[in-house]
Structure 1
Amino acid sequence: MVRLPLSPEEIVRGKLLGQMLRRARGERPMLAVAMAAGISPETLRKIESGRVPTPSFSTVAMLSMVLGLSLDTVWQGIHEESSDSVPRVQGEHLRKAS
């Protein structure tokens, strides 16, 4: 299966998610947070840096729980800020499957 390229909005949301998680982690060690969430420290590093802009829902949910963030807060944070950062293109969410 071929994965479609990410839209500019998805890339921005991934960076915003990473920034939000990094701020929430604060002074806690990356290793401790990653292990508590059941992921590798390298995966957490990639998410926080925006190199993994679309982590799985379960990964986001576990990280949110470990960091004391509600999923509503995460959702609002990445969608409100991203809509200010990237102009929306009408019909952008409709992608053609190849």
Structure 2
Amino acid sequence: MVRTPLTPEERERGERLGRLLRAERGERSMVEVAAAAGLSAETLRKIETGRAPTPAFFTVAAIAAALGLSMDDLMARCALAPAA
């Protein structure tokens, strides 16, 4: 299967998601949050650094739950700002 290349906007959205999740993790260790979300620390690391810019919905939902974030809030904070 060949994946369609990501657009610059998709990459930027993935980077914003990663920065947001890293900021919300705060002082908690990556291993602790990943374990609470039921995934590997390497997967969380890739998402936080933008190396996995399009993680699966259920992966994001699990991380959000582990961090106490609502999906609505997460989506709103990761959305592109409307053009002026």
With the length of structure 1 as denominator, give the TM-score of the two structures: 0.80
Q: In structure 1, what is the Cα distance between the partners aligned to 2:13 and 2:53?
A: 7
**Structure 1 counterpart of 2:60:** 60
Indicate the residue corresponding to 1:73 in structure 2. 73
SS of the equivalent of 1:55 reads: coil
Deviations 1:55-97 (CA, angstroms, capped at 9, x unpaired): 0000000000000110001111111xx346xx7xxxxxxxxxx
Deviations 1:4-36 (A, max 9, x none): 000110000000000010011000011010011
CA 1:5/1:83 → structure 2, altered by over 3 Å: closer, same or farther?
farther
Q: Which runs of 5+ in 2 are unaligned?
A: none
What is the percentage of aligned positions where both structures have the same residue? 55
Runs of 4+ in 1 over 6 A off after TM superposition: none
Unaligned runs of 5+ in 1: 88-98
| 1:3 alignment partner in structure 2 | 3
Query: Structure 2 CA distance, aligned partners of 1:22 and 1:49?
Result: 9
Task: Give the count of matched residue pairs.
Answer: 83
Q: Which amino acid aligns with 2:34?
A: A
Aligned to 1:40: 40
